[in-house]
């Protein structure tokens, strides 16, 4: 009887812990330059950021990252493309469908020989960007743009945990 009670208590703790975790969706970045040859960067940024966030919390104690496959399916279900102007308004439906409490979205723009990168954490309850945990005005070269991922993680990670 005691063993059953102990197993039940552990299961309740695990389920409670999982429910308390913040589900986070990392969305493809937006190409604000509108030069189609850089559209592949949309997913390179998102995939690299997703991996870096997973590395920053390997046991998923503070948050759970929604898998890339799930994000892609949710976007495909609504026929959303990050390069389409309508993407901005409809992507929130996909995030809600994934049951996320936070969404990470960024953009990049080529400015001469540099890439301007911005990244924001959105709270899905308020639909507002977190003013303190964002990564703005990061400049890299077109060959080193993914070096922006570490500074982005450092700036946004505090905003991904439960309040």
Task: Note the pLDDT of residue 82.
Answer: 84
The C-alpha angle 128, 133, 134, rounded to 5 degrees, equals 80
**Residue predicted with more confidence, 87 or 25:** 25
Q: What is the pLDDT of residues 89-122, one digit of tens each?
A: 788 999 999 999 999 999 999 999 999 999 999 9
State the Cα–Cα distance between residues 163 and 159, nearest whole angstrom: 8
pLDDT at 1: 56
The predicted structure's pLDDT at residue 50: 97
| Predicted local distance difference test score (pLDDT) of residue 56 | 95
pLDDT for residue 22: 95
pLDDT at 9 over 90: no
State how far the Cα of 18 lies from the Cα of 11, in Å rounded to an integer: 11
> How buried is residue 39: exposed, middle or buried, by Cβ count under 10 Å (0-12/13-18/19+)?
middle
Q: What is the pLDDT of residue 103?
A: 96
Please give the pLDDT value at position 115.
Answer: 96
- pTM of the prediction? 0.84
């Amino acid at each position: 009887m005691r063993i059953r009670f102990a197993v039940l208590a552990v299961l309740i703790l695990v389920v409670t812990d999982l429910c308390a975790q913040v589900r986070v969706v990392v969305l493809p970045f937006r190409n604000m330059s509108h030069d189609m040859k850089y559209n592949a960067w949309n997913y390179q940024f998102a995939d690299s950021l997703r991996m870096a966030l997973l590395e920053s919390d390997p046991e998923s104690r503070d948050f759970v990252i929604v898998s890339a496959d799930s994000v892609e399916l949710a976007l495909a279900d609504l026929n959303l493309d990050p390069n389409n102007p309508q993407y901005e308004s409809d992507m929130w439906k996909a995030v809600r469908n994934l049951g996320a409490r936070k969404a990470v979205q960024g953009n990049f723009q080529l400015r001469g020989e540099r890439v301007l990168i911005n990244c924001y954490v959105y709270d899905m309850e308020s639909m507002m960007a977190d003013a303190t945990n964002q990564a703005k005005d990061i400049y890299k070269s077109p060959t080193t743009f993914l070096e922006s991922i570490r500074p982005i993680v450092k700036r946004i990670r505090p905003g991904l945990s439960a309040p």
